[in-house]
Amino acid sequence: MKKVTVIIPAYNKADYTRLTVDSVLAQTYPNIEVIVVDDGSRDQTPQAMGEYGNRIHYIQKTNGGACSARNEGIRRATGEYLAFVDCDDLYYPEKIGHCVDYLEKNPRFGFVYTAASFIDEHGSIVGQYDHPRSKEGNITASLILGNFICNSTVMIKRTVLDKAGYFDEKIFPPADWDLWLRLSQVTEAGYIKDPLTKYRVTDNYTFNRLELSRREELYVVDKFFRSNPDMSSKKQAYSNFYLRYALCDYLKKDRKQFWSDCLSSLKEYPGNMKVYAIALSAVVVPWWLKAVLTKKILRVSQK
């Protein structure tokens, strides 16, 4: 069986990190290398990871961000397949086995992503991530319109990752989206509709740091189109970017910025019918729009 390296970036979440490591060690697939990269934790993470002995590779480094930790794990990895799981997320026992089996049976796919279960701080399932636009094959044109790949669900062939490049350490919230976009340009993507990862939604990093997330996501879109200036979806991609943040503005009760982002979205792509629907809802049924956005935005935004 091919070796799978699972990389866990850890930072100040000792108890959750224990649960994450336990879920990886409990996999039904036997040939797994576990690398925990501690990005300068100041809590009990070192002591907690020391309990595992040689069952994991524990690496300590000075704080440089999650992408820096993931990249350090990649450099240390010896597996033919690489998987990433955040230190507060969990794997179902069959996760690795199903993903390896899928990639072995579908050799044209260089990476695979899956559906996921949302869990709260206690580990209780509170929803499911199964984006309607999730698809297989050449997904670049769809992916640049918005990230529909849930973090902590992806498994990648090492050779493909080496070709696409590692995580961009200049950004954090949309760094996974940036990598998926680059991967999608060098290989086809596979999708497993079963939830194989438990994605914890207790701390919504994107929503709580909206301006940082906005700048970094715009950086990803600009970066993509500098490399792909002739993509026909450019106007729609920028329109969707402004619309995503208009929705967050609405939940933040920043109505001025909400209408400004709606207008910017329409300037980029006047045919974006979602903008008209959202704007109409904000005027006619604001209570309904708030309820819908609270359920969707707060759960699917990346940690």
Query: Are 38 and 181 part of one and the same domain?
Result: yes
pLDDT of residue 294: 75
CA distance 15 to 22: 11
For residue 290, what pLDDT is reported? 86
| Pair 162, 211 in one domain | no
The single-letter code of the amino acid at 72 is E
- Give the model's pLDDT for residue 115: 94
C-alpha 302/C-alpha 291 separation (Å) is 19
Residue 221, helix vs strand vs coil: helix
Question: For the chain, how many structural domains are there in total?
Answer: 2
On whether both 196 and 264 belong to a single domain, the answer is no
Residue 115 to residues 26, 44, 91, 179, 269, Cα–Cα distance (Å): 20, 32, 12, 18, 30
Alpha helix locations (H) across the chain? Answer: 14-25, 45-50, 66-76, 95-105, 140-143, 158-164, 175-184, 205-208, 210-227, 234-251, 255-268, 273-284, 286-300
* Domain end among 200, 225, 247: 200
> How far is 236 from 144, CA to CA, in rounded Å?
9
The predicted pLDDT at position 133 comes to 61
Same domain, 82 and 99: yes
Same domain, 210 and 196: no
> Is 122 found in the same domain as 31?
yes
Residues 293 and 191 in one domain: no
pLDDT one digit per residue (tens) for the chain, 303 residues = 999 999 999 999 999 999 999 999 999 999 999 999 999 999 999 999 999 999 999 999 999 999 999 999 999 999 999 999 999 999 999 999 999 999 999 999 999 999 999 999 999 998 888 866 668 999 999 999 999 998 899 999 999 999 999 999 999 989 999 999 999 999 999 999 999 999 998 766 667 788 999 999 999 999 999 999 999 999 999 999 999 999 999 988 999 999 999 999 999 999 999 999 999 999 999 988 888 887 665 554 444
Dihedrals φ, ψ of 178, to 5°?
A: -60, -45
Domain that includes residue 60, residue range = 4-200
pLDDT in tens, 68-111: 999 999 999 999 999 999 999 999 999 999 999 999 999 999 99
Q: Are residues 158 and 117 in the same domain?
A: yes
CATH code for position 164: 3.90.550.10
Q: Which residues pair with 7 in a beta bridge?
A: 35, 84
Domain-terminating residue out of 168, 200, 232:
200
Residues 158 and 245 in one domain: no
Tell whether 196 and 120 lie within a shared domain. Answer: yes
Q: Is 128 helix (H, G, I), strand (E, B) or coil?
A: strand
Residue 170: other Cβ atoms inside 10 A = 12
Considering the domain architecture, whether residues 120 and 229 belong to the same structural domain is answered as: no
**Residues 52-67: pLDDT tens digits?**
999 999 999 999 999 9
At which of 181, 200, 219 does a domain end?
200
pLDDT at 164: 98
Say yes or no: 23 and 51 in one domain.
yes
